[in-house]
Every structure is written in structure tokens, then in C-alpha cells.
Amino acid sequence: MTSTELIPAPPPRAAARRALLAGSAGNLVEWYEFGVYGCFATVIAANFFTPHTGGGAEAASGAEALIATYASFALAFFFRPVGALLFGRLGDRLGRRTTLVLVIGLMTLATTLIGLLPTRDTIGAAAPWLLTLLRVLQGLSAGGEFGGAVSLMTEYAPPGRRGLYGAWQSFTVALGLLAGAATAAALAVVLPAQALYAWGWRIPFLLALPLGMVALWLRTALEEPPGAPPAKAGSGTRGGEGPPGGGVRARAVVLGIGRIMGWSAAGYTFLVVLPSHLQSTLGASFRDALLATTLVTLGFAASILPAGLLSDRYGRRPVMLGGALGIVVLAHPLLRLLQSPGTPLQARVVAVLAAGALVGLLAGPGPAMLAEMFPRRVRCTGLGLAYSLANAVFSGCAGLVITAWTARTGDTAIPAHYATGACAISSLALLTLRGNDHREPLR
């Protein structure tokens, strides 16, 4: 990079903290909803995808209804790349603030409407279609959220802290999932099962309204990051990953997908799919499954920020490779510990905490790594597409694939197979990372 005009001065600390708070708050709201949907998958199956009436736990027992619920979950993920392209272009052309305000408004509206939606018993076959439509709107919103939030956070990051600032995106994912799991667990304790299936499940979705309004207020007060408006001129490339001019290079997007596919697959396997898998396959109670989800999310959250800091000091490659290879080696032993009836409670707790912590090693440096792959003029679009496509294929399909293949084969180790295979491939892509990218300024 030869022109100093392309390297903006470091932003004031106060402005950087405001940007971090605004980006994190909206991201937390988005992932709170996704966590709630995952925790209540069996309840949603009973209310929206089971043809017969009768509610309650018996209505959630059908594998077909659960698979249909996960199909709706996956469909939302497949609209993420559309949202990444649509809102990413807006973010690159009109600015990060405009995009982030739009996506949080759309997500808050769609989530609140899910909480008000009539069930299948009330309006018949229209109920699952309306739910799926709202999931599509959520997918569009989430597709635009990641690119805008990560661009904002990393562009505001002080020198030598880009990994830490980017890690807050993943940390608020963990907080959102944890908040969703904790809300679901609290309702499961307070409400009897019949009330939970009848109306209690609506409460977490309706809580998204006040949370979203706070995030919207924070984002409307934002200023654009240093260097705005987006540069029109071409800039240098890094490792051939960004084009000297024009749009996003497909090679960079594909490489980004490869580098984070293990994060996507393992993250959703352990953090979102695990509760329903423990219930439908291993016979765990709803409360025990939610407790396991809460613990694995705590392990995930605990390792994210330290991983981001370590990647600022030692580079993105060793930290992310450690997480991917750790999952390859440990996924099957950890799942066997959970499945064995004789495993002590303490060992089960350690197993789920370790599974979450390994994913955190990938999620902490991941956002900054993606931001470093694309120049500013296409950063929102490029990193948003890479992330959303990886999530569409390897996260959105995780519940559908794991549930369907477990039902077909009877193999209760399918979740470990899925996470291990994705992380093995991801390890190869992570080897292409250069050791000094974390020290160079964003382009």
C-alpha cells in the first residue's frame, strides 16, 4: 500500500467505544432470537408443523415436525446471502450506519411478529407458511448485520486491537444465544409444560421489541468510521484476495468460506442443534437439554475475547487452527461422554464447556480475519457474503442434516461426524493465512 490517503487516522477512543457498543447491541438482539428459535424447536414443531391438535409434549415428538422446523430454520439461512448482497452494497455505497439501522429495524419487526403469530390449530396450514415468511425476513436482516457490524467494529479498532474489536461480534453472538437459552430455561422452570407450549413460548420473541428499540437508538447516533465515505479508487491487494478495482472477487469469497466453515458447522452443532438432539435422540428432558446448551454457550463466550486478543499478538492462523484441530480430535470423545449413562455430572459439565471453548477459538479471530481479506469499498459485501454463504450451507443445514441422518441411520454420533468433517476441511484453508496480516492496516 503506497498512498497514505488510504490509511485513516486512528479514531478517538470514545467514538470507537460507541461504535463497539452500537454494533454489539444490535448483533446481540439478532442472535438472541436465533438462540430462542433453536431452544424452542420442539415447541415450534408442535404449534406450527404438527397437523393434529392437542399441543403439549406429545405433539412435539414427531421427527417429521422437527425436521420441518429445521427446514424453516435452514431457509432463513439461505436468504442470508441475499441480505448480505443487498445490505452489503448499501453499506459499501451509502455507509455502515444506514445499513445497521435498517437491518436491526427489520429483525426487530419480524421477531416481534413471530411472537404474535397464530398457530396451526388457529389458522390451519397458513401458520407454518407465515412463520417461514418471517424467518425469511430475519434471514435477510441477519445477512446484512454481520458485514455492517464487523466492518464498523474493525474500521474503528485502535492499532493492534482489530482482533479484539472483531471478537466482540462473536462475543455478542454468544451473549445473544446465552440470553435466549437462559430465557427459555427460566420459562421451562416457571411454567408448566402445557402453558409453555400453549403461550409461554411467545414471551421470548416479544421481548425482542424493547431490546431492538434500544439497539436502534444506539445505531441512529452513530457516525461513519474513519475514512468514510467509502473509497472509489483502487487500492493494493493482500495475498491476491482483493481485486484492484471493481467488485468482490469470487476467489476471496470462496477462500473465506473455507476458512470459517468449521466455525459455522461446529458452532451450530454444539450451540443450537444440541438441545433438540439430546431430547429427540438421547431422551433428555427439555430442562436438561437447555442446561447443556447454557453451559456450552458459557464455554463459547469465555474463550472468544481471549482468542481475539491472542490473535492480535500471535496472528489469526495459530489461534484458529488450534480451534479447528481441537474439534477434529475431541468432538467424538466429548459426545461419547455426554451419551454414556455412567458419565459423572462433573465430566459432562467439562465436556460441554470444552466443546464451546473450542468453537470460541475460531469465532474470536474470525471476524477480523475476514475484514482483512477485503478492501474497504467492498468490505461489507465481501465479508458478509463469505460469512452468510458459510452459514447457509454449514449452519442453516446443521439441524436438518443431523436430525434427518440420525433418524435414518440410528447413529447418535452424527453431530460429531458433521463438526469433525467441516473442521478438517477448514484447517486446510486456514493454512493459507499469512502470519503478518493482523499487523497490517486495513485496506
In a domain, 46, yes or no: yes
For the segment 311-337, the average pLDDT, to the nearest whole number, is 92
In a domain, 241, yes or no: no
In a domain, 266, yes or no: yes
- Per-residue buried b or exposed e for 231-259, using 16+ beta carbons within 10 Å of the residue's own CB: beeebeebeebbbeeeebbeebbebbbbb
For the segment 73-79, the average pLDDT, to the nearest whole number, is 73
In a domain, 243, yes or no: no
Q: Dump pLDDT digits (tens) for 385-434.
A: 999 899 888 877 777 788 788 778 888 788 889 999 999 999 999 999 98
Among 217, 263, 232, 234, smallest CA distance to 362 is for: 263
Q: Is the pLDDT of residue 10 over 60?
A: no
Predicted TM-score (pTM) of the model is 0.79
pLDDT at residue 253, rounded to an integer: 92
For the segment 85-92, the average pLDDT, to the nearest whole number, is 90
- Give the total number of structural domains in the chain: 1
With cut-offs at 50, 70 and 90, classify the pLDDT of residue 227. Answer: low
For the segment 61-80, the average pLDDT, to the nearest whole number, is 66
Q: Is the pLDDT of residue 67 over 90?
A: no
In a domain, 212, yes or no: yes
What backbone phi and psi angles, to 5 degrees, belong to 355?
Answer: -60, -45
Residue 65 near residue 55 (C-beta atoms within 8 A): no
pLDDT at residue 275, rounded to an integer: 63
CATH number, domain with residue 52: 1.20.1250.20
- The proportion of the chain whose per-residue pLDDT surpasses 70, expressed as a percent, equals 84
On average, the pLDDT of the chain sits at 81
Q: Dump pLDDT digits (tens) for 141-163.
A: 888 888 888 988 888 888 889 99
With cut-offs at 50, 70 and 90, classify the pLDDT of residue 313. Answer: very high
Residue 149 near residue 169 (C-beta atoms within 8 A): yes
Among 167, 145, 170, 171, smallest CA distance to 154 is for: 167
Per the structure, the complete domain to which residue 301 belongs is given by 12-222+248-439
In a domain, 227, yes or no: no
In a domain, 112, yes or no: yes
Higher confidence at residue 364 or residue 39?
Answer: 364
In a domain, 85, yes or no: yes
pLDDT at residue 257, rounded to an integer: 95
